[in-house]
Amino acid sequence: MILIISCFIVVTEKDYSSEMNELEGILNENSKHMEERNNQNRITDENTAEEIDNIGIDGQVQNKDNVENSIDESEIAEKVKQLPVVGVGDSVILAAAEGLYKVFPNGYFDGKVSRSMIGGEEVLTNLKNEGKLGNIVILALANNSDYFEWRIDRIMNILGDRQVYWVTAVLADDPEFNNKFRGYASDHSNIHIVEWEEKSKNHPEYFYGDGIHVMGDGIDAYANIIYEAIYEDYKKGVLKSEK
């Protein structure tokens, strides 16, 4: 007699509902925090240029080794930290607010749930009209937008020759957005790609269950990769205070 035993393995998906409720609460709190800090912020295009000049690297240095040898790196690190950068993005930048304010305590950050490039364009226009756009702009606007070059052109026309740090998106609505934008950036010397998509690979612990919004160590990792990109450009003497 042959006895056949069938074994059925039931795989259940993890319930992320409590995590997402937590995220919603954090996004709401961070939104209030951003508004409060931005109301107190005194950033202007002029003081941004002044802060850049105070670092002592104005884009005229030709030799990277000379820069690294003649300037105390810890001093540069502290001065870069004090820069009044401007960051505009969606709920990812909103979730990372704590880390961003840690690395840029004088920064002006504006994040909103489901913000697309259309919404980003409006915010950037308003900041420019108010004289608060500054020379260093961080953008995280790829998650909720399809790639349209003409719309990116509109944003870049607002920004002029300011230094733009574009953060690549994880699980963007348009899966080709990052690759297409890398090609766009190759024709614009003032666009610097911050490779968050690459940096965060194989780090599920960085994210909530949706795989998009940062939590825990992911908050600092997100903020630090942006800081490091700006810091390295200063060391190289890439950035200038002129807009």
| Token couple for 202 | 């194989």
| Token couple for 59 | 């884009």
Lowest mean pLDDT among 20-29, 53-62, 83-92, 101-110: 53-62
- Identify the residue with better confidence: 144 or 62: 144
The pLDDT of residue 50: 59
How many CB atoms are located within 10 Å of the residue 233 CB? 18
The overall average pLDDT reported for the chain is 87
- Identify the residue with better confidence: 61 or 238: 238
**Strand locations in the chain (E):** 86-89, 108-111, 136-140, 163-167, 191-194
49 pLDDT exceeds 70?
no
What percent of the chain is predicted at pLDDT more than 70? 81
**pLDDT tier for residue 94 given thresholds of 50, 70 and 90:** very high
**pLDDT tier for residue 61 given thresholds of 50, 70 and 90:** very low
Q: For the whole model, what pTM was predicted?
A: 0.85
**C-alpha–C-alpha distance, residues 186 and 164, integer Å:** 13
Q: Where are the domains of the chain?
A: 18-236
200 pLDDT exceeds 70?
yes
**C-alpha–C-alpha distance, residues 166 and 155, integer Å:** 12
The pLDDT of residue 229: 98
The pLDDT of residue 15: 76
Encoded amino acid at 86, one letter:
V
- 169 near 92, Cβ under 8 Å? yes
Considering only the top CATH level, what class is 18-236? alpha beta
Lowest mean pLDDT among 69-83, 106-120, 202-216, 221-235: 69-83
103-143 confidence digits (pLDDT tens) = 999 999 999 999 999 999 999 999 999 999 999 999 999 99
**pLDDT tier for residue 28 given thresholds of 50, 70 and 90:** very high
DSSP class of residue 129 equals H
Of 183, 185, 211, the closest CA to residue 197 belongs to 211
Angle at which helices 149-159 and 117-129 cross, to 10°: 20
Element (H, E) at 184: helix 177-185
Helices (H), 108-176: 117-129, 149-159
The pLDDT of residue 241: 47
| Token couple for 220 | 């600092």
180-190 confidence digits (pLDDT tens) = 999 999 999 99
